Each structure stands twice: as C-alpha cells, then as structure tokens.
C-alpha cells in the first residue's frame, strides 16, 4: 500500500478516536461544523439532480412534440391529397356536364368517347379512343368536342379507334371564313412534341379582306365533315405570289383533350 494511503487511514482513525473520546458538547459543535461544510455540497447535488430531472422532462416533451409534428405533417399531406382528388373530380364533373349539354343541343347524332392513348412521338397527329365497331364507329367519321373540330376516324377495331387530328399535316378540311366569301383548305403543319402546331388555310384570294380573329368553319364539302363546325380563329393573313395563306389557332385545346364525340349522322 502506498504511504499516502497509510497516512490517510491513520488520520481517519485518529479523527474517529477523538470523536469517540470527546465530550458531548464538543461533538455537537463538530457535527454542526461538518454539517455546514457538507451542506453546500448536498445543496449542489440536489440542484444538479433537479436540473437533470428537468432536462429529462424537457427531452420527453421534445419527443412528444416531434411525434405530434410528424402526425400533423402526415395529416396535412393526406388533406392535400384529398383536396387534389376533389379538384380533379370537380374538373371531371364540369367537363362531363359541358359535354352532355353539347350533345343534347348538337344537331348531330354523337357517340361519346374517351381518349385512352396518345403517343408522345405522334402527340399532334393522332390519338386512340375507347369506342369501335361495337359502338357504331366507322372510318371517315368526324370527331368533335364542344369547342369544335378535333379530327376524323381513320382506323377502327372492335372496341377502339384511331383518330387523325386536325393538327396533322395530312388531314385536309374544306373551310370558309366568316364575313367573307373566301373558302380554302385547312391542314396542320409538321410539328414536334415541343410546341403546338398551327393550322394553315391555303388557296385563298390574295386580295381577301381577312383579319385576325375571324372564325373558320367547315363547309361540308366532301361529305366527311359536316358543315358549320368551328375549326378555329384566324391569327394572321399573308398574300403570296399565287395565293393568300392564313394561319389559324385551333378552337380545340388539342394538348388537353380528354373526351370527344364521333359524328354518326344528323338528328
């Protein structure tokens, strides 16, 4: 054992012996002095214990707050999802109500259809609808929306059909321009998936008084497209060497079509 430890034990033994043999009054005085010496240490320990208990309580409250925060975030996300679904349903109901009203007031017999497929490569050329031969669909039937001409049916299977859109450059439609005697042929332009194609009316008179905002309608020539269907509005008119050419903004929002009607005849 080290000498320092031996000395400490001897000192402790001497203090114990003195404490035993000392008179009672002296013992009480020594106890009071020792208590005064030890009391600050005891108070510090109690204070530290209270602080540790407070910290533990604070950590517990933080855990509870974090759990509550996670729960509220989850509920908020669920509410946002539900709200988005409700807005989608509202838009769907509004579209269907508008389409139903158009069908009832239209002079044509219309077969309702929903677009089920569009290819990014041929987005402006064609789409696939969920109606086919079983529903009375045939090739060369005109396809409309409540906003105007969308295209025509080109290929038909039992339950689906392919619609060539008015924005395709191979589709030709005989049209007239309101407020004028002008008639021409409207067709789409070669386009990519990056921008909305424009329509062109060719074979117009070079001196035609055509202005921006004039409406363009089908003439019914050729028997595929019924007359009087809105195709779009004139954006501008350009006289060329042999003809006048007008650019047209389609009346149908071809980028966001969802529901269409196939014309099966006249009421």
pLDDT for 138 equals 97
The model's pLDDT over 1-58, given as tens digits with 9 standing for 90+, comes to: 545 455 444 444 444 454 445 455 555 555 555 545 545 554 555 555 555 555 556 5
Structural contact between residues 161 and 203, judged by C-beta atoms closer than 8 angstroms: no
Look at 49-58, 116-125, 245-254 and tell me which has the smallest mean pLDDT.
49-58
Look at 91-95, 126-130, 196-200 and tell me which has the smallest mean pLDDT.
91-95
Residues 6+ apart with CB under 8 A from 134: 158, 159
Q: In a 3-state reduction of DSSP, which class is residue 54?
A: helix
Q: In a 3-state reduction of DSSP, which class is residue 207?
A: coil
Residue 167 above 90 pLDDT? yes
More reliable by pLDDT, 6 or 188:
188
pLDDT for 146 equals 92
Average pLDDT, the chain: 81
Give the CA distances from residue 35 to residues 43, 49, 122, 158, in Å, rounded to whole numbers and listed in that order: 12, 20, 95, 102
Q: Where do the domains of the chain lie, and which CATH numbers do they carry?
A: 106-266 (2.40.10.340)
For the chain, give the percent of residues with pLDDT over 90: 51
Q: In a 3-state reduction of DSSP, which class is residue 248?
A: strand
Average of per-residue pLDDT across 122-137 = 94
pLDDT for 82 equals 73
Average of per-residue pLDDT across 91-102 = 73
* CA atoms of 101 and 98, how far apart (whole Å): 5
Residue 220 above 90 pLDDT? yes
Average of per-residue pLDDT across 176-198 = 82
Residues 6+ apart with CB under 8 A from 114: 129, 130, 258, 259, 260
In the block, residue with structure tokens 């389409």:
99
Look at 71-75, 106-110, 173-177 and tell me which has the smallest mean pLDDT.
71-75
Average of per-residue pLDDT across 153-180 = 96
Residue 127 above 90 pLDDT? yes
Look at 47-51, 116-120, 241-245 and tell me which has the smallest mean pLDDT.
47-51
> For residue 259, which of 125, 67, 94 has the smallest C-alpha distance?
94
Angle made by CA atoms 227, 125, 95, in degrees to the nearest 5 = 65
* pTM of model > 0.85: no
265 pLDDT band, cuts 50/70/90, is: very high
């Amino acid at each position: 054992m080290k000498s320092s430890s031996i000395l400490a034990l001897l000192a402790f033994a001497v203090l114990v012996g003195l404490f035993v043999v000392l008179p009672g009054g002296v013992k009480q005085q020594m106890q009071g002095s020792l208590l005064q010496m030890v009391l600050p240490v005891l108070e510090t320990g109690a204070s530290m214990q209270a602080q540790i208990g407070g910290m533990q309580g604070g950590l517990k409250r933080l855990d509870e707050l974090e759990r509550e925060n996670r729960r509220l975030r989850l509920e908020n996300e669920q509410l946002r999802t539900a709200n988005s679904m409700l807005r989608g349903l509202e838009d769907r109901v509004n579209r269907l109500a508008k389409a139903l009203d158009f069908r009832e007031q239209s002079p044509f017999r219309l077969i309702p259809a929903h677009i089920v497929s569009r290819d990014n490569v041929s987005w402006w050329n064609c789409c696939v609808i969920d109606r086919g031969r079983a529903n009375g669909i045939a090739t060369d039937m005109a396809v409309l929306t409540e906003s105007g001409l969308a295209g025509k049916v080109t290929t038909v299977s039992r339950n689906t059909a392919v619609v060539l859109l008015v924005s395709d450059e191979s589709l030709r439609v005989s049209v007239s321009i309101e407020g004028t005697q002008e008639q021409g042929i409207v067709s789409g332009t070669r386009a990519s998936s990056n921008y909305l194609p424009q329509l062109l009316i060719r074979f117009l008179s070079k001196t035609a008084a055509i202005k921006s905002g004039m409406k363009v309608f089908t003439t019914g020539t050729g028997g595929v497209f019924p007359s009087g269907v809105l195709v779009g509005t004139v954006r501008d008119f350009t006289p060329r060497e042999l003809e006048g050419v007008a650019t047209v903004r389609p009346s149908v929002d071809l980028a966001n079509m969802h529901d269409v009607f196939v014309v099966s005849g006249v009421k």
